[in-house]
Each structure stands twice: as structure tokens, then as C-alpha cells.
Amino acid sequence: MAKPIQMPALSPTMKEGKLVKWLKKVGDKVSSGDAIAEVETDKSNLEVEAYDDGVLLQIVVAEGDLAQVGAPIAYVGEKGEKVEAGSKPAAPAKAEAPAQPAEAPKAPAPAAAPASGGDGIPVLMPALSPTMKEGKVVKWLKKVGDKISSGEAIAEVETDKSNLEVEAYDDGTLAKILVDADQTAQVGAPIAYIAGKGGKVSVAAPAPAAPSAPAAPKAAAPSPAAAPQKSEAPAAAPRQASGEGRVRASPLARKMASSQGLDLAAVHGSGPLGRVVKRDIEAALAQGPAAAKKAPEAAARPAAPGSRPAPKTLPISTMRKVIAQRMSEVKPGVPHFYLTVDVEMDAAMKIREEAKALESKVSVNDIVVKAVAVALRRSPKMNVSLQGNTILQFATADVGIAVAIEDGLITPIIKDADQKGLQAISTEARELAERARKKALKPDEYTGGSITVSNLGMYGIDQFVAVINPPQAAIIAVGAVADKAVVRDGQITVRKILTVTLSGDHRVIDGATGAEYLRELKNLLEHPMRLLF
């Protein structure tokens, strides 16, 4: 009778192993003690030995696949012997994808929304940020009976990040308002109905304003798989219509894109079903001429010229997966670790004073943001984010800046901060912070990035520990620059010291990786001329 070769437990914490390669092939003679396969565990790569003599009859787990500890990976028996049908296990589980990872909140298909068969077209509460679950209608910009054109703003909605306008996607007349001002509605719920020419709405008023149970369970944090698509994939597939591959866009957005020579295929849509709307065109135009350059043959290309490189999706190794599991057992959620270093800022402060003499406003935080971005570019292992069972490796150095607002905190993103000068970073940071406090940021301005800078130095705080903003993998906490006594060449001297603390996500970043990054950051801040090269 054929005997199974099982996936052994090659380490105390091993729950599954990945078949790296087979050292024997079907039909080869095998002796007890022979190494037949190489397996990747959570600790190292080890060989699996046979415990019986015979012939390798069948390989159950192919190279690159996973198998649970104790599961058969192959069968050994006499030559010509057949493996019994009942003894063949089901295919081993591949990298355990989380059960249907939560997607970014998205509106259901508009065609299915009207419940009564009336001719009303629903206006749905859109997902205006990756973490948005419900929105509050601040005010209606149109009243019942007003004529509405596709692409026209009809309401202002308060999200968990900022206040944004909701646009109509059809022409007609505003026939019914379901959610009054100061009321809330779940993402995807109807907030109003538009009637076509002469059309009437006959719907049983759905009551979206009261918080209702979501249609499907959602993750507490932003969806791992969906968040990067919103912030990093400029040519996301969901924007295309199902039939002809046409980019979904409102008429107003098409008109604006056409007049500005903007390629719609290169614009990320934030409307329902990935539709490109007015605010997306405005955001694309704000990025400059490179983003606005029209590309007639864009449909045949994966990305438009001048677009930012998309992040790479890397498979998570068995070792990294177990580290993530073990760290999450000790510290549920995002398992933080902390590293602190003192930085001498004398040289950096001189640059700030020189900039001030030139009537250029450059703050300590601007210098830190620049250094954080350059260090990130030089430390690619830090520029990552855990997305389910994969690791997202970013190709750009986008840095978040924590901004305190009346209702809490938001982190606008300075994109490509490593490529920008201090004056450009200073101007952009002030402009983003000002609009953040007015709740006027667009979704693409506060999503993305892999690291954030949180600075409490202006409050006189010397040192603190910051909490990571998922799905980012790290955050830098910056205190005040203060005169402190240090020992140099056996002598006590006074230097301007800045204390910097790194909080890292231990599921994807190890302590040594974080330490190397902090060392690079310290060198850049202590020798700021290196920021120019």
C-alpha cells in the first residue's frame, strides 16, 4: 500500500510549509533517510526526508505551493503500485488569502437601487475616502424641482476626512430628497432621486439616515487590498465600462478633460463605480502639464507617460507570515515596535536661518520631511505596506504630515517628497494643512504613502511615541529642537538636539531594518547638504 510523506513540523511555530523544490521526481527510487524535497518554513529552508524505501509514486504538492503540517505532500510505494483514490488529499491550501478581504466601500449598481419600479434614478452616497462608511449631508445645493445636469454638484457631504461635493450622474429634475441636511447615510444608500423628463418617483421611502447594519461585514481598518488601488493605481480597471472598455466619466468631466487636452484613461476616478468626476479632473490638472498631456493611444498602454510608477505586489514569505501572526498575537491589530535616536540639528538650523535671510519660509518639519523621504528612497525595505497576504513595495517616496484639526487628525500626503526642494515642500505642506483645517482636501491628497511625520515640537514636547496610520507601515515622531549638553572629544559642549522616535509595523518591518533607516535619517539631518544629492 502506498505510504504518504507528510509535511513535517520543522520548527516549534511551524503551521505550514512551502515546497521550494523537489529533489526527486516521480519514478525515482527512494531510500529511507533520502532527502526528497526542500521546504521553506517560518525559520529557514530545510530538507524533508523519506522514512520508507520504495519508488516516488505521486507528488501531491507542486513547487511553490503550501501544505499544512501533517498533510501528505507525496506518496511512496512499490513500483507500479497505484495510489488509492481515497488516500489522495484535497489540493493543499495556497497562501491563505483572507476570506473575501473587505473591498473599498463602493456603491451598488444604480440599476438595482429603485425598489418600486418607478422611473426615479437614485443618487447614492458615494465612498469619498477609503475609510468612509457613512456620510453626513451638510447642505443641499439644489432643491426639489430644480433641473440638474450630469456632473453638477447637488449636495455637500461631510466625510471622516473632509467636506466634498456630491455630483449628479444623470440629467433630469431633483424629484425627492431622502436625507435632509445634518442627517447621515450609509455609503451606497440613496440620498435623493432624480426624475427624467416628465418622470415621477414612486418609491417607498427607504430610511438611509439611520445607521443601519451594513450589507456585509467590513474590516475596521481600511481594506488592505482596496486602499492602494485608490491611492496608487492611476489607471484602475474599475473605471472601465463592462461592455466596450470605455472610461466612465461624467459629461462635465469629459468636457473639462477635452478642453484641457487631458487623457481620461490616466485619471483615477473617485465617483461611484470608479467614475471620473469634476474633482478628479481638477486634481489631475493640479499635478501639472505632465499629468495633463493627452495620450491618444493610452488604451493600448498600461500607463500614460509621466505617470508615477505603481507599487509592486510582492508575495509574503512563510517566515514573514509567521512573524506577522506571532506579533499580532502579542500585540493585536498593528504590532508596533519603537526606536529612538537623538539628532544634532546645528547644521540643519543654519540652513533654516539662511533660508529665512532669503525670505524663504522653511521650518524644521520641512527639513525632516525631506530627510524622511530621501532616507525612504535609500531604504526600500521601509517603503512597504502589508496588504492581506501580500506586501506592497512602493516605488515613490510619499510622506504624510500629521495635521491637527478641530475634529481630530488628518494626514495629507506630500507626494515624491524626495524629489522636491525645501521651499516646494514648505509651500505644499502649508497649503495642504490650511485646506485640511477647512475640510477641503480631496481623497487623493490624504491617501497613500508608507510613512508619516508627526511633529509636536511646537508644543514644547521633547519626545513622544506616535501610532501608525494604517495601511502605512511606519510613523516618525518628532519633538522640539532643544539645547542639550553632550560630550564631544571628552569635553562637555552644548548642541541643538532633536529626538526622533520611529514606530514600525513589526509584521513587515524588522528592528534591524528600522535601525538602519534611522541611522540614514540621522546622517541626513546632521549633514543636510546630503539632501541635495
Say what the pLDDT of residue 367 is. Answer: 95
Q: For residue 297, what pLDDT band results from cuts at 50, 70 and 90?
A: very low
pLDDT at 417: 95
- pLDDT band, residue 200 (cuts 50/70/90): low
Q: With a threshold of 0.75, does the pTM exceed it? A: no
In the chain, the percentage of residues whose pLDDT exceeds 90 is 37
pLDDT at 34: 86
Given a contact cutoff of 8 angstroms between Cβ atoms, the answer to whether 276 and 264 are in contact is yes
Q: Which three cell numbers stand for residue 307?
A: 505617470
- Angstrom distance (rounded) from CA 490 to CA 71: 64
Place of cell 440638474: 148
Active site residues: 506, 510
Hey, which residues does 130 pair with through a beta bridge?
Answer: none
Q: What pLDDT shows up at residue 520?
A: 97
Lowest mean pLDDT: which of 319-333, 334-348, 366-380, 480-494? Answer: 319-333
Judge whether residue 241 has pLDDT over 60: no
Q: What is the mean pLDDT of residues 103-108?
A: 40
Average pLDDT estimate for 52-77: 90
Report residue 45's pLDDT band, with 50, 70 and 90 as the boundaries: confident
pLDDT above 80 (res 461) = yes
Instruction: Name the residue with higher pLDDT: 303 or 130.
Output: 130
- Tell me the average pLDDT across 113-126: 64
Q: Supply the pLDDT for residue 293.
A: 46
Please identify which residue in the block is written with the cell numbers 485608490: 230
**What is the per-residue pLDDT for 117?**
41
Highest mean pLDDT among 96-105, 342-351, 440-449: 342-351
Which residue in 435, 385, 382 sits closest to 410, CA to CA? Answer: 435
Query: Quick one: cell of 265?
Result: 484613461
Q: Which residue carries 484639526 as its cell? A: 405
pLDDT value at 203 more than 50: no
- In this prediction, residue 198 carries a pLDDT of 56
Indicate the range of 122-131, 175-184, 334-343 predicted with least confidence: 122-131
User: Which residues 6+ apart lie within 8 Å of 428 measured at CB?
Assistant: 414, 420
In whole angstroms, what is the distance from residue 268 CA to residue 281 CA? 9
Average pLDDT over residues 27-54: 83
Percent of the chain with pLDDT over 70: 76
Measured CA to CA, the distance from residue 228 to residue 443 in angstroms comes to: 12
> Would you say residue 130 has pLDDT above 80?
no
pLDDT at residue number 303 = 43
Q: Please give the Cα distance from 477 to 475 (Å, whole number).
A: 7
Q: Which residues contact 446 (CB under 8 A, 6 or more apart)?
A: 129, 161, 162, 400, 410, 411, 412, 413, 436
Give me the pLDDT at residue 2, please.
82
Report pLDDT for 231: 36
Mean pLDDT of the region 172-196: 90
Query: Domains plus CATH for the chain?
Result: 3-77 (2.40.50.100), 136-194 (2.40.50.100), 332-531 (3.30.559.10)
pLDDT band at 11 (very low <50, low <70, confident <90, very high): low
For residue 102, give the nearest of 124, 135, 127, 137 by alpha carbon.
127
Q: What is the mean pLDDT of residues 56-65?
A: 92
Query: 160: which 3 cell numbers?
Result: 471622516
Please tell me the predicted confidence (pLDDT) of residue 387: 86
Closest CA to 166 of 177, 148, 153, 180: 153
More confident site: 293 or 393:
393
Answer with the residue of higher pLDDT: 292 or 445.
Answer: 445
Return d(Cα 232, Cα 126) in angstroms, integer: 20
Residue spans of alpha helices (H) in 261-386: 278-286, 289-292, 318-330, 346-357, 364-378
Q: Reply yes or no on whether the pLDDT at 145 is more than 70.
A: yes
**In 3-state terms, what secondary structure has residue 374?**
helix
- What pLDDT score does 429 carry? 95
Of the pLDDT bands very low, low, confident and very high (cuts 50, 70, 90), residue 208 is: very low
> Does the pLDDT at position 516 exceed 70?
yes
CA 84, CA 501: separation in Å to the nearest integer? 60
- Residue 279 to residues 239, 268, 353, 441, 449, Cα–Cα distance (Å): 15, 10, 39, 10, 21
Nearest by Cα to 430 from 457, 401, 450, 409: 401
Q: How far apart are CA 318 and CA 361, in angstroms?
A: 48
pLDDT for residue 305 is more than 50: no
Q: If you average pLDDT over residues 416-437, what whole number do you get?
A: 93
Segment 261-281 mean pLDDT: 74
Q: Does residue 277 surpass a pLDDT of 50?
A: yes
In this predicted model, what pLDDT tens digit does every residue of 349-407 receive, in sequence order?
Answer: 999 998 888 888 899 999 999 999 999 999 999 999 988 888 999 999 999 999 998 87
Q: How far apart are CA 457 and CA 363, in angstroms?
A: 11
Q: Would you state the cell numbers that stand for residue 516, as one nine-digit string?
A: 538602519
Kindly state the cell numbers that stand for 445: 491628497
* 485-510: pLDDT as tens digits: 999 899 999 999 999 999 999 999 99
